[in-house]
Amino acid sequence: MTVNTTNTSGAGYLQAVDLLKRFDEVAAVDQVNLSIDKGEIFALLGSSGCGKSTLLRMLAGFETPTTGQVLLGGQDITAMPPYERPINMMFQSYALFPHLSVWENVAFGLKREGLPRTEVKSRVEEMLSLVQLGNYANRKPHQLSGGQQQRVALARSLAKRPKLLLLDEPLGALDKKLRERTQFELVNIIEAVGVTCVMVTHDQEEAMTMASRIAVMSQGKVLQVGTPSEVYEYPNGRFVADFIGNVNLFDGHMSVDETDFCEISTPDGVVRVNHAVSGTLGRELTAAVRPEKIVIAKIKPDGVHYNLFAGEVIEIAYFGSYNTFIVELPSKHQVKITQANTSRYETSDITWNDRVFFWWPEEAAILLTS
C-alpha cells in the first residue's frame, strides 16, 4: 500500500510543471511536478546530489530548466531573470554584502525598486525590528555573529515583501543548540509575515519541525509529498521509510490475506498487520516498523499472540532520554529498538548478550511494495 498525499485544491500558488534540468547527460532534476499552496512552508528534503538545490535555483531563476515550467500565481515565470521575479532567497552562506552595513544590506533590494527614501527607511526599520536587530543597523557583517548574520539575511530577503521566499539550508551553518532555537524563531517570523516559503534541507529534523509539507527527493525525482506525519507514518517506499527516521524492514511474501488483516511470512517469522492489502497470496511485501513502536523485555509476555520475536542483544546505546538496543535474530537480521527512559530509577536491566523478546501491536507496522 502506498500513500501519496498532495494538496487538494488542484492548482497551487507555486507550481513546478514537468521540470527537467540536464547537465551534460545527467538529469539533476527529473520531471518534477509540485504544487505549493499560498502561505505554506514547503520543504525539499533529500541528501546531497538529489537535485533539491538545483530545483530551488530554478525557482529563483539562477538555472534555466531544460524543459518544463514554473508558475507563480498562475503566471509563467520560467523565462524571467532572477532580478525580475517577485521571489527572494536566503542563501546558505547568507551572502551579506561585506562592504555595506546591516542597514544598507537590508535596504539594498528596496533601493533597486526605486522606492522613496522615507519608505525605504520605514521598511528597513520594520524588518530590523522583526528580526530584533534594530540596534545593529550600523554594523558591518563581519562584526556580527553567525546567528545575527542569518537574521540580517532573513530581513533582507523579506524586505521586498516577495510572493515567495526561498531558504537554502537555512540552519546548516549553525551549531546544534542554536539550531533548535532558530528553527522556531524562523517559523514564527515567516508565519507572522505570511509569506509562502520553500526550503531546501538535508536534515530531516529541520524539515519535520519547520515545514507544513515535505517533498522527499532522491536522484532528481520526488518520491513522496506529504505532511511530516504522513511521510513518517505512511512512507510510500523503502527509501522514504529509511530516509526519515529509523525503520526496521522485514522482507517477505503474503501468506494470509483477509478482509481485516493479513500476514507476511518472513525468514524471521510471521508479521501480522491489521488491515487488508491488495494483491494475491505470495505477493512480495516488506513490513516496516519504527523502533519506538517496538516493546522489549527479558521475560516472555503473556497475551501477545502476534509479532513476537526473540533474539540476542548485541548493542546498547544510552542517549539520555532514551535507550537504543540492537537485537540480533537467529537469521542474523538486526532490529533496532528504542525505549524511552520514563522513570529515573528504572534503568533498563537489559544488558549485552541478554536473550530478549520484542513485539509490536498489529497496527504499528506498515507494508511497502517497493
Partner 1 sequence: MKRLMVAVLKHTNWIWMTSVFVFLYLPLGFLIFFSFNSTRQDARFTGFSLRWYEALMNDGRLIDGFWLSLKVAITTGTLSVILGTFAAFVLVRYTRFKGRALFSGMINAPLVMPEVIIGLSLLLMMVAVQRTTESWFGIGWPDRGFITIVFGHTLMGMAYAMVVIQSRLRDMDRSIEEAAMDLGCRPAQVFFLVTLPNIAPAMVSAWLLTFTLSFDDVVISEFLSGPGVTTLPQAIFTYARRGINPTVYAAATLLIATVTIVIVSYSIWMARAQRQRARETQAAIRQAHQYND
Partner 2 sequence: MWQLLGKAGKRGVIGVPYMWLLVFFALPFLILLRISVTDMGGGVDPFVSLAQMQDGVWTLKLKLANYVSIVWDDQRPGEATIYMQAYATSIRYAALTTLFCLIIGYPFAYFIARSPERFRATLLMMVMLPFWTSFLLRVYAWKGILADNGVINRLFMFVGLTDAPIQMLYKDVSMLIGMTYVYLPFMVLPLYATLVKMDDRLLEAAYDLGARPLKAFWLVTVPLSKAGIVAGSMLVFIPSVGEFVIPSLLGGAENLMIGRVVWDEMFSSNNWPRASALAAIMILLILVPLAVYYHYSGEREAQAGQAS
Residues 6+ apart with CB under 8 A from 135: none
The cell numbers describing 294, all together, are: 517496538
Closest CA to 157 of 189, 202, 134: 189
Closest CA to 197 of 183, 185, 187: 187
Interaction partner, residue 352 (partner 1, partner 2, none; CB < 5-8 Å by kind)? none
Residue with Cβ nearer partner 1 (179 or 213): 179
Interaction partner, residue 98 (partner 2, partner 1, none; CB < 5-8 Å by kind)? partner 1
Q: Alpha-carbon distance 202 to 362, whole Å?
A: 32
- Number of residues in contact with partner 2, rule: CB under 8 A? 6
Q: Alpha-carbon distance 361 to 367, whole Å?
A: 14
Query: Is residue 357 involved in binding partner 1 (CB under 8 A)?
Result: no
Interaction partner, residue 169 (partner 1, partner 2, none; CB < 5-8 Å by kind)? none
Query: Is residue 82 involved in binding partner 2 (CB under 8 A)?
Result: yes
Least distance CB 158 / partner 2 (angstroms)? 23
Query: Is residue 97 involved in binding partner 1 (CB under 8 A)?
Result: yes
**Number of DSSP helices (H) and strands (E) in the chain, helices first:** 8, 20
Among 6, 91, 180, 324, contact with partner 1 (rule: CB under 8 A): 91
Residue with Cβ nearer partner 1 (81 or 194): 81
Among 21, 52, 160, 179, contact with partner 1 (rule: CB under 8 A): 160
Query: Is residue 60 involved in binding partner 1 (CB under 8 A)?
Result: yes
Q: Alpha-carbon distance 64 to 61, whole Å?
A: 7
Query: Is residue 274 involved in binding partner 2 (CB under 8 A)?
Result: no
Interaction partner, residue 64 (partner 2, partner 1, none; CB < 5-8 Å by kind)? partner 2
Query: Is residue 85 involved in binding partner 2 (CB under 8 A)?
Result: no
- H helix runs in the chain, sequence order: 52-60, 102-112, 117-130, 146-158, 176-193, 204-210, 228-233, 238-243
Query: Is residue 63 involved in binding partner 2 (CB under 8 A)?
Result: yes
Q: Alpha-carbon distance 160 to 119, whole Å?
A: 11
Interaction partner, residue 63 (partner 2, partner 1, none; CB < 5-8 Å by kind)? partner 2
Query: Is residue 144 involved in binding partner 1 (CB under 8 A)?
Result: yes
- Number of residues in contact with partner 1, rule: CB under 8 A? 34
Burial class (CB in 10 A: 0-12, 13-18, 19+), 127: buried
Query: Is residue 64 involved in binding partner 2 (CB under 8 A)?
Result: yes
Among 9, 62, 67, 301, contact with partner 2 (rule: CB under 8 A): 62
Q: Alpha-carbon distance 285 to 227, whole Å?
A: 24
Least distance CB 267 / partner 2 (angstroms)? 47
User: Could you tell me how many residues make up the chain?
Assistant: 370
Least distance CB 346 / partner 2 (angstroms)? 49
SS3 105: helix
Angle at 301 between CA 299 and CA 304, to 5 degrees: 150
> Which span (38-46, 79-87, 265-273, 311-319) binds partner 1, by CB under 8 A?
79-87
Residue with Cβ nearer partner 2 (62 or 352): 62
3-state helix, strand, coil in the chain (%, to 5): 25, 35, 40
Q: Where are the beta strands (DSSP E) in 24-65?
A: 26-36, 41-45
Residue with Cβ nearer partner 1 (115 or 297): 115
Catalog residues that contact partner 2 under the rule CB under 8 A: 61-64, 81-82
